Amino acid sequence: MRYFGALILIYMLFGCANEKPVQTGEVTALDPKQQFEWKLVTSWPKNFPGLGTAPENFADLVERMSSGRLKIKVFGAGQLVPAFEVFDAVSQGITQMGHGASYYWTGKAEETVFFTSVPFGLNAQEINGWLHHGGGLSLWRELYEPFNLIPFAGGNTGVQMAGWFNREIKSIEDLKGLKMRIPGLGGEVITRAGGTSVTMPGNELYTSMQTGVIDATEWVGPYNDLALGFHQVAKYYYYPGWHEPGAMLEFIVNADAFERLPDDLRAIVEVATRAVNQDMLDEYTAKNNQALSELTNKHGVELRKLPEPVLSELRKLSDQVLTEISSRGDLSGRIAKSVKEFKEESMAYHFISEEAYYEARRVLLE
């Protein structure tokens, strides 16, 4: 009887191990050895410097921190889904995760543009502060909730360049008739200035410039622009990147897939996104310097600053676009108001901190 009782006890223990997770309050009790395999699709070419390597770094971090319990396979643009279908693929559960730029999804929700970059808006330092300590993340997640998505900051390129042009920009008139690859709110501003904005993935830009399909393009900055060879197909390289002063990328996770993870793996995903978000900015800060030097000194690129009258007119048009978007709905208004207030507060402090320091440093160099 004792032997028979022991067999029953062993059977019960092994039987319990195969049962579904037990919910105890907000904590999900799962087999600590259970493994998960995810797919992550991106809007970038596989292993493209910065943009494409960030999701690879993320997947590596997650696997190492989870001791292999969560493995994520990364797919470049077009390998599993096209570059601009990442949002739908993750929303519909075709894949568990994606990496891209929120302003690619304006057809789903116009407010997504606020979570990549706003013309003359927050820079990288400020948008990270707004998201994680200024209420921006909760607004972002409210926006994505109807799509069954959870967004996370996924990297920042810092202040970008205004772009590559095959004509000089001396006045706002020179933008009229210009066909330029420039997505998001910046594209709307260019259209209002008399140009035509086009959205296309990065792997099509070189050929489009070379064949005259477009007259100008912005991409990111020297680090990525050198890799794509734009100096071979365009004459003028303009700055500053008024349209994307702090272009933030995103990780998006299917909400159902995220809920199926135990708490420790959820935390690992969150921490890994934060790490990669900062690491990308560090990478661009280091690499842009080197690439710009090569573009100008080795390849003879003509570096030009947009004239102040042009920037002034672009600011006016940007304000018009933002005012219109903020009036189209409750959530639009709340997001626009939050961004504006945070920018004003940041500008007030940065005037006596960042800007004052930059000015002092310039004086020392003279």
Largest distance between two CA atoms of the chain: 97
What CA–CA distance (Å, rounded) separates 81 from 41?
Answer: 7
Domain-located, residue 182: yes
Q: Identify the CA nearest to 235 among candidates 220, 215, 219.
A: 215
Q: Contact, 311 vs 172, CB < 8 A?
A: no
3-state secondary structure at position 50: coil
Average pLDDT, the chain: 91
Residue 204 corresponds to which tokens in the numbers above? 């099509």
User: Is 12 a residue whose pLDDT tops 60?
Assistant: no
pLDDT, mean of residues 223-240: 96
Domain-located, residue 174: yes
pLDDT, mean of residues 268-295: 97
What pLDDT sits at residue 31? 67
Domain-located, residue 167: yes
Distances (CA, A) of 252 to 41, 90, 264, 287: 10, 7, 19, 26
Domain-located, residue 308: yes
Q: Contact, 175 vs 314, CB < 8 A?
A: no
33: pLDDT confidence band, cut at 50, 70 and 90? confident
First to last CA, the chain: 94
Number of compact structural domains in the chain? 1
Residue 26 corresponds to which tokens in the numbers above? 């907000």
Domain-located, residue 316: yes
Q: Contact, 30 vs 259, CB < 8 A?
A: no
User: Is 13 a residue whose pLDDT tops 90?
Assistant: no
Q: Contact, 163 vs 305, CB < 8 A?
A: no
The percentage of residues in the chain with a pLDDT greater than 70, rounded to a whole number, is 91
Residue 229 corresponds to which tokens in the numbers above? 């060879």
Lowest-confidence pick of 32-41, 123-132, 270-279: 32-41
Per-residue pLDDT reduced to its tens digit, 324-336: 999 999 999 999 9
Identify the residue with better confidence: 323 or 30. Answer: 323
User: Is 15 a residue whose pLDDT tops 50?
Assistant: no
User: Is 88 a residue whose pLDDT tops 80?
Assistant: yes
Query: What does the CA dihedral 85, 90, 93, 96 come to, rounded to 10 degrees?
Result: 130
What pLDDT sits at residue 30? 56
pLDDT, mean of residues 289-314: 97
Per-residue pLDDT reduced to its tens digit, 163-203: 999 999 999 999 999 999 999 999 999 999 999 999 999 88
Domain-located, residue 261: no
User: Is 19 a residue whose pLDDT tops 80?
Assistant: no
User: What are the backbone dihedrals phi and psi of residue 90, each rounded to the nearest 5 degrees, phi first?
Assistant: -75, -40
What CA–CA distance (Å, rounded) separates 9 from 288?
Answer: 65
User: Is 120 a residue whose pLDDT tops 60?
Assistant: yes
Structural domain including 314 reads 163-242+300-339
Residue 154 corresponds to which tokens in the numbers above? 């996924």
User: Is 85 a residue whose pLDDT tops 90?
Assistant: yes
**Exposed/middle/buried for residue 195 (C-beta within 10 Å: 0-12, 13-18, 19+):** buried
Lowest-confidence pick of 239-243, 267-271, 358-362: 358-362
The percentage of residues in the chain with a pLDDT greater than 90, rounded to a whole number, is 89
User: Is 26 a residue whose pLDDT tops 70?
Assistant: no
The string of DSSP codes covering 148-192 is TEEEEEEEE--S---EEESS---SGGGGTT-EEE--HHHHHHHHH
Domain-located, residue 48: no
What pLDDT sits at residue 110? 92
Element (H, E) at 253: strand 248-254
Which CATH number belongs to the domain containing residue 184 in this structure?
A: 3.40.190.10
Counts for the chain of helices (H) and strands (E), in that order: 13, 13
Q: Identify the CA nearest to 35 among candidates 5, 63, 10.
A: 63
pLDDT, mean of residues 83-88: 97
Identify the residue with better confidence: 203 or 231. Answer: 231
209: pLDDT confidence band, cut at 50, 70 and 90? very high
Identify the residue with better confidence: 305 or 366. Answer: 305
Q: Which of 11-15, 26-30, 277-281, 321-325 has the highest mean predicted lDDT (pLDDT)?
A: 277-281
Domain-located, residue 82: no
User: Is 347 a residue whose pLDDT tops 60?
Assistant: yes
Query: What does the CA dihedral 338, 339, 340, 346 come to, rounded to 10 degrees?
Result: 110
What pLDDT sits at residue 9? 38
Per-residue pLDDT reduced to its tens digit, 121-138: 999 999 999 999 999 999
pLDDT, mean of residues 81-108: 97
